[in-house]
Every structure is written in structure tokens, then in C-alpha cells.
Chain A
Amino acid sequence: MTTAEPPLVTPAAEAPPGTVYGLRWVALFGGGLFLLICSVRVITGAPAFTASGTIRTGLELTVPILLAALGALYSERAGVINIGLEGMMILGTWCGAWAGIEYGIWWGILFGIVGGALGGLLHGVATVSFGVDHIVSGVAINILALGLTQFLANVTFARMPGGGPTQSPTVPGTIPRLSLPVLSSGPDLLGGLERQRWFLVSDLAGVLRGLTSQVSVLTIVAVALVPLSVVLLWQTRFGLRLRSCGENPWAGETLGVNVPRHKYAGVVISGALAGLGGAYLVVVAGSNYQEGQTAGRGFLGLAAMIFGNWLPGGAAAGSALFGYVDALRLRDAVAVHGLLLLATFALAVIVLLQLRRGNTRAAIGAGVGGAVFLVWFLATAILPSQFLVFTPHVVTLLVLTFLAQRLRPPAADGQPYRPGEQR
């Protein structure tokens, strides 16, 4: 294992996420992206880009990724790499469906959380108590969780009416859904605006309506977890101690932090969040357990967290981007093709920004990329839907490749740690 020397001065001394400076950039970036999307919507004539239906679907596809991403965040901030998230999420789907059918839908959610947390605890036992390599333990947990879940599904759901070895019966009951009065329901003012197809105005109305109509209570909880995580990790003593385990556990130890306990807390919270994501797939995004339901969303959450630079807000932005692309894929083939034009525009903006900074090489690189996307857009009529399945993965790889120097993972992330031993 590499034993990189801990840097004396932490680069980019950590400002708590969501400072005024950060918010201004987020607003600028988000606004710019929105403007681009609206332009592409008008050019391609595909209303799906900003239709409330797309946004609503996108929100529901975002939440499981977001929960896994937050899970990854807690674990890695405590210094434990968690590629077992996928397995923990799978545990959440079975536990959620089983308890949901046996005891009711809210118990399903609780059991989903507990199932995932148990997976996290197992990861903690292996990595923290026994010092197993984090990647190795994560792979093993994924294998175990998949097998255990398939067995349990076979001995439980297969015997239920309407169920089978690979899927459960429908979980009875629903989680309440809320709409914003007047604006998104009743007179539905936003809906009226959206139907006008006015540039920007209708687009904004569509997005707002998608975010405020028929929103599951569980979605609201998941979104609220983002600011809550910022507060918990950056404003509380527990958060400071947990992060110290990810940055420099040996220093934390000398200050009296119980490092193993905080690492355990990190992975158990991580598993619980992934499990909640699994339960969400069962009771909100779907209506029953299905084999292969998580479809790599645990891994995608990990990617979203890396994309988001190990910060809650960044992880949320990454998850939203991935969820949005996925929603477009499900809803409209024309809009999917328009994404190529969107990529062209985005790269053109990057060219201008890089030129202003005098960074000619980066500008040329982005320009070539933009030209490729433009030719691709003009020369083809559709973008194969298979490509969209892995678009988030490619985007994350590109971010890792070209923005790696801006990314700052916790300094001791993934490093072996044994109490009382300097490494």
C-alpha cells in the first residue's frame, strides 16, 4: 500500500461547503446550464428537456443515487472507501420489500435502512476491526449481499401470491405525495405557464412544477438530508471528529478522538443511507422488489460523490445531473439526441472561459471535443439509448481525468489504520 506523506499544509484549506463565494458560483453555473438547456429545447423542438414530467421523473431517479452518494460521503469522510454500497443498497431493496409487505410500508423503509446499516457494520468489522483492505472487503460484501438477497427473495417472495423468486408482490400502501397548492395543484398556475412554450418562462415553470408537484414525502426527506449532512459534518463536534478520521486519524487519536468508533459510525451511516436508497427504489420509484433493481446505482452514487468533490452539495449536483440524463433517456428520444448539441454548447462555453484565462491548450482541447459533438449531432438522427446508460460514467471519468487537480479527497481515505500505530 502506498504510504504517501501527509501534506504539512492542507491544500485549499477547507471552507465549509455552501459559503457565499460557493453559492455565487453555483448560481452562475446552474443558471448558465439552464439557459443552455432552454436554448437546446427551442432549437431541437423537444419539450421534454424542461417538461415537468421529465423533471419529476428525474427527481425520483436522482434520489437513490443521491442517497448512495451521501452514503459514500460519510464513509469516505471517515477514511473508509466503500465500494460495498451497491451490496448495501441491494440489502435495502429486499429488507424494504419484505418488511413493507409483512408489516406495512413505513416499516419497509425502516427495515431497508437497518438492512443497509447491517451491511455497513459488516464493512466496518472487516475494515476497521480486522484491517482488511477496503476495496477487497467492499467487493466481498457486494458478492455476499447479492447472494443473500437472491436466497431470501426465493424463500420469501416465491411463496407469496403474485410474487416469484426474482420479484416480490406489490408492497401495499403508498407514501404520501405532496404538491404545492395554487402553483402546482388546484389552479395549477405553473402548469398553465408551462403550456405556453415561452422561452425561459415556460421552461422555468416546467422545472418548478416538476419539483413541486406530486413529490413523495420520502423524496423531501432525502433532499433535506443534503443540508443536514453539511451541518452535521461541518458544524458539529461529531462531524469534525468524523472528518479528522478521514484526514489524519493519527492526529485525531492524539487529540483523544475515538477513531475506530467514528469510522464505524461513518460506515454504518453510509450503509443506512444506501439501504434507504434501496427501500426508496422499492416503495417510491417502483412498487415491488425486483432482482437487479439497483442496476449499479450504488456505484453511480460513488461516482456522483467523486464528481461532487467529496462535498454534500457537489454530490447532490452530480446525482441530479445523472438522474436528469436518465429521465431524458426514459422519456424522449429527440431530446436525447439534443444532448449532443448541449454538449457542444457546454464545450463552447468552456473554450471561451479557458481563452479568457489564457489557457490555450485547454481551449483547443475543448474546442476539438465540441466540434466532434457538433458533427455527431448534425450527422446522426438519434443517439442510441444504450449510450445514455453510461453517459454519467463517462462524464465522471472525464471529470476525474481533467479536473483531478481540483478534486480533494480526504487525505487518509482508504489508508489502513490501526489504533496506536503510526503508519
Chain B
Amino acid sequence: MRGRLAPGRIGRALAAPAIAIVVSLLLAGVVLRLTGWNPWSVYGYMLSQGVRPESLIRVVNLATPYYISALAVAIGFQMALFNIGVEGQYRLAAVCAAGFGSAVALPAPLHVTAILLVAIAVGALWALIPAVLKVWRGVSEVISTILLNTVAIGLAAYLLVNYFREKLPGVNTTSTKLLPRSAWFPSLSGLVRALGIDLPAGTDLFGFVLVALALGVAYHVVLTRTRFGFNLRASGINPWAARASGVDANAMVLRTMVISGALAGLVGMTALLSDKHLFGDDFPVQLGFTGIGVALLGRNHPVGMALGALLFGFLDATGPLLQFQGISKQIVLIMQGVLVLSVVIAYEVVRRASERAVEEQAATPAVPAEPAEVRA
């Protein structure tokens, strides 16, 4: 086996995303052509708009929740545990955190911390349900998390309407109270301006980006430098061998699912603490499912997922700009969908190709076989 950074290994890792990007550009190009647009000029326009400073800041802002969501999914993927329930976990966590945050008054750093802790706790507890069902009764986490998504979203709606909604006389509000300034996560815009980069008014670099980065680093450290991370990856690669070497499979499921849920609880915090500062009708949805896509795109690798999140963020940021040209912004949704589907197929193709290469290598003897001597 060659080392981790051998060129062949990196090449193989990048081949699949590269294929996926080309396929998605081609297919979206066909769709654009069929609907009467020149794909190259559309892509050129997206690129030229996307590299402007305010667009880049939007890209990073949009990528932040995607990245956290991808991390939540990826930690489960490491041991072949599918947390499809990030969608429900973050929505329920966000509504509870928003309700809690608007109900208490605390000084600035404490307020933010307390809200984050509530979000983490709710996400983790909700994820504990499928974990317990899997360990205790052998219920597949795929099915239970899908079912619990609907339960969580319904519960979030119920809590919002009955408990957390801002109650104003005579008005039927459908959102929580705006959080006080003490619960706003500090913005990075001041820092960017201090670096001499001029930001147009109305653009804001979310401070929560730092949290996402820290989580990415923590994910990497836990996976590669701790016993838990080793056991996690061992359980994913060969559960039987891991069990034989003393890894408690049930404990791994419980721990991993709780960590995944805790991370999922933080997904909505970008919007709550850095952007909207309340939970209402326009609170972002689908972040959990998109996170699965980003995790697949980045192959559960902390850097790969960051690039995937930025790519998704870039598409999200430039899509709406296309409407000024009269092009349907949903073309970027097609690109995202094709990206995810083609990347999983491409990874499989690349894996099989390299498997074949290894087999052929093993089949061809290094030293030409000498003709067997016939002993009479």
C-alpha cells in the first residue's frame, strides 16, 4: 500500500468529483440549450458574478450550514450509520433554541452559549431515539430517522404555534420573537473591513463560519487522533473485525448518533444567531437533505466536504442572479441534484476500476515464472 499522500490516491479521490462536475455542467447545459439559452454564456455569467466580493461572502455564508449538516451526516457514514434525520433534528433544535433564547435574558456571551447548548441538547436527544431503537430493538435507523423527520417537523410547528410564537394582541404571528442583540453571534464584517477589503453596505460575513471551521477541525482530530475515531472507522470498514477486537457496537451506535444529532442541532444556528435571529416561516429548510448531498460529494472528508459545501453555496448564491437575465434560477437545483447522483456513481466506477487494477497487478507475477522443471 502506498502512503496517504501518494499522487495516485489523490488522483483517484479527485477523479470522481471532477467527473461529476463535468457531467452536471453537460446535463445542465443540455437543459439550458433545450430551453433556449447558451450554456457557456450562462456559466460565464455565473462565474463572473460569483467572484465579486459580496458574492463570495454570500457563498461562504450559505456554505456554513451545509458544512455543519454534512459533518453531522458524515460522522454516521464513517461507520455505515445513516442519519437521514438531520432535517428533523435541526428544525426541532432551532425552534426550541429560538423559543428558549427569546424567553431568557442573559449577558452576550452567555446568551449565545446557552442557546447553542439548548440546540445541541435537543438535536442530540432527538437523535437518541433512533439510536435506542436500533440498539434495543434492531430497528433500521434509515427508516426510523425518515419517520422521525416528519414527527420532528410537526412537533416544531406545534411548539411554535402553541408555546414559542411571539404573542401580540390582535395579531396572529407565526414566528418567535426577534432575539435581543445579546443573542446575536458576532459578525466578521468588521474584521474583513479592517483587512482593507471594502464591503458593500448590506453584506455581512457570518461569524458562525468560525464555528463551522472549528467543527471541521474537531471532526478531523476526533477521526484521526482519538480511540473513538479509530473505533468508528474500524466499525465502518469491517464491523465484524471491530467487534472481535473489543469494540462495543451498541455503544458506538449510541455515541455516534448522539454526536451526529448534536452537530445537526447546530445546523440551524447559522440562520438563528447570525442571520434571521428568529424562527419563522422563512427559516431555511432542506438543509439536512442538502447536507447528505454535500457529505456524499466530499466523501466524508473534512476538506472535501468544505469544498462541496462551497460549491453548493456558490450555486445557491449565483442562481438568483440568473433571474436578472431571465433564466430560471432552479437550473442550479438541477446541477446540485446531478452532482450528487453522478458523484456517487463516479465513486463506484473509480473504486471498481482501481480494484481491477489491483487485481491485475496481483495476477501478473513480478518475476517471469520459470518453466517448471519436470522431474522424472
Interfacial residues, chain A to chain B (CB-CB below 8 A): 1-2, 81, 83, 122, 125-126, 130-133, 135-137, 139-148, 150-151, 153-155, 158, 165, 296, 299-300, 302-303, 306, 384, 386-387, 389-390, 393-394, 396-397, 400-402, 404
Contact = CB atoms under 8 A, between A and B. Distances in A.
Contacts of B43: none
Interface stretch (B110-118, B267-275, B341-349, B367-375): B341-349
Contacts of A296: 149-150
A311 B76 CA distance: 31
Interface stretch (B100-108, B134-142, B170-178): B134-142
Contact of B133 (A83, A299, A386, A401): A401
B138 A404 contact: yes
A237 B345 CA distance: 32
Given A131-B348, A139-B293, A151-B31, A144 B338 contact: yes
Interface of B: 31, 35, 80, 82, 84, 133, 137-139, 142-144, 146-151, 154-155, 157-158, 161-162, 239, 289-290, 292-293, 296, 328-338, 340-341, 344-345, 348-349, 352
Contacts of B138: 404
A143 B288 CA distance: 11
A386 B31 contact: no
A132 B80 contact: no
Given A132-B344, A165-B328, A400-B139, 6 more contacts: A126-B345, A143-B292, A144-B334, A155-B328, A389-B154, A404-B138
Contacts of B239: 2
B120 to A, nearest CB: 24
A299 B289 contact: no
Nearest to B138: A404
B368 to A, nearest CB: 30
Nearest to B345: A130
25 contacts: A83-B84, A126-B341, A130-B345, A135-B142, A140-B340, A142-B289, A144-B337, A145-B337, A147-B334, A147-B335, A148-B334, A148-B337, A150-B330, A151-B330, A165-B328, A296-B149, A299-B150, A300-B150, A384-B158, A387-B154, A393-B147, A393-B150, A397-B133, A397-B148, A401-B133
Given A132-B344, A148-B337, A151-B333, A299 B139 contact: no
A1 B143 contact: no
A303 B349 contact: no
Contacts of A140: 293, 296, 337, 340-341, 344
B330 A303 contact: no
Give the secondary structure class of A's interface: helix
A400 B142 CA distance: 12
A235 B84 CA distance: 36
Contacts of B151: 390, 393-394
Given A148-B333, A150-B333, A400 B137 contact: yes
Contact of B146 (A83, A125, A146): A83
A125 B342 CA distance: 11
A253 B164 CA distance: 58
Contacts of B31: 151
Nearest to B340: A140
B82 A135 contact: yes
Contacts of B149: 296, 299
Contacts of B330: 147, 150-151, 153-154
Contacts of B329: 154
Nearest to A385: B158
Contacts of A300: 150
B292 A396 contact: no
Contacts of A136: 296, 344
A397 B293 contact: no
Contacts of A384: 158, 161-162
A139 B150 contact: no
A131 to B, nearest CB: 5
Contact of B348 (A122, A132, A135, A143): A132
9 nearest CB pairs, A to B? A147-B333, A144-B337, A151-B330, A386-B158, A140-B341, A393-B147, A147-B337, A390-B154, A390-B151
